[in-house]
Amino acid sequence: MGTTPIGGGCRKEEIDFDISLSMRIAHIINHLGVSGVNQVVADLVSVFSAHGHECVIYYLKACDSPASYPCPVVPLGGSASLPEHFDVIHAHGVGPMLYVMRHRRALAKRNGSQGRPLFVTTLHCYCFQDLPSLYGWAKGGLMAMAYLASTLWQDRVVCLSQDMMRYYSRWISRRKLRYVYNTRLLPSKQNEVFNPDDATLVDQLKSWHAQGHTVIGMNGVLIYRKGVDLMLRALRLLNLEGRRFRLVLVGDGQDRGDFEKLCQSLGLNDEVLFAGHRKDAYRFLPYYDILVLPSHSEGFPLSLLEAAVYQEKVVVSELPIVKECFDYRNPGSSTGKAEVAAFKIDPDQDATVLRLAEAIRNAIADDAIGARLRQRFDKDYSPEVFYHKYECVYRDC
């Protein structure tokens, strides 16, 4: 890419590597466990490895149940122990960004005559919205401030959407900011093998279908930000019309107990299944009639992209990423171009629940909505598009 001056909080230095050569890319993550951030990293490694680049993942903390990754993984600890040369050092999350902040000088010197690496981070959330919802206002607010401060030591700051880029432009220099939409790489459905516990869940979903029920699925963490309570209330409303709907919640989280109590108070114990955490929850998508994502806030939900790969019907709240990236006109309208069925969340919970129920009815009525979602994925969010967008970030093209 030639020689590029770097500013916006960094000392003016030179980055230099040949655009015609493959790159050596280090990804730094907190741990090797299952998470949305780590799934994005795994997809990044997969697409760059497929194009001939060398990738290594470094992690800061051990975990009990590490996921598998398509490249070497190396424990990092507290020292600047990366090998001698990398073209790109890509940090994901607060801990890795703080690591780069502490060791940036040493990491730059390791490259020697190769020219210092490009320091990149991807911001996977809206920090002042999402971190307090996970960790409380005191701890989450401090983490959000650390999140922002640590971007000062990065050359490129990647957001998941144009909306997120506008959000962060209040605190981060615009010349650093880029945006790249997520993708998903999924194995063939024909190769799916379920363990006994997962096979039992599949049998339950098949049984619901056989009994004439419409199966609604939610995959993700069970917290209020994900709108689980809204879905439970909408389910009760829908079932008052004939008790034809069943809901499966695949995931776990800190608010699960509250939602189980809400099920009891709404009389939904027979209509809702708390399936708990399951590895690769996307594997259950073919057994849903509809995937519902009633979140109050998201970066770019991977489960939406997974549903697109499987051509599943999706009902989603009118998130900024949905407004930016998908067509959600009423499926009953003459345009017939909706890719998702969307509904608006506002402070009036009853009105929101009514809209969610109506969006579910709209999705059921549109047989082609899933196919149109897959077409949009292939056009704008495919692994190949994802690769070229990130290559432009790394090459500064």
Domains of the chain: 4-183+382-395 (3.40.50.2000), 191-380 (3.40.50.2000)
Distance CA 108, CA 88 (A): 10
Output the pLDDT for position 3: 32
Output the pLDDT for position 116: 85
Output the pLDDT for position 271: 95
Contact indicator for 28, 99 with CB cutoff of 8 Å: yes
Output the pLDDT for position 77: 75
Output the pLDDT for position 12: 35
- Largest Cα span, the chain: 72
pLDDT tens readout for residues 305-345: 999 999 999 999 999 999 999 998 754 554 568 999 999 99
> Which residues have CB under 8 Å from 113's CB, separation 6+?
none
Which residue, among 315, 316, 215, 327, has the nearest Cα to 272 in the 3D structure? Answer: 215
**HSE of 134 in the Cβ direction (CA atoms, 13 Å)?**
14
Residue type, 19: I
Output the pLDDT for position 167: 94
pLDDT tens readout for residues 235-250: 999 999 876 999 999 9
> Which residues have CB under 8 Å from 298's CB, separation 6+?
319, 321
**HSE of 214 in the Cβ direction (CA atoms, 13 Å)?**
19
User: Which segments in the chain show pLDDT lower than 50?
Assistant: 1-19, 331, 334
The encoded tokens of residue 58 equal 């470094």
pLDDT tens readout for residues 207-224: 999 999 999 999 999 999
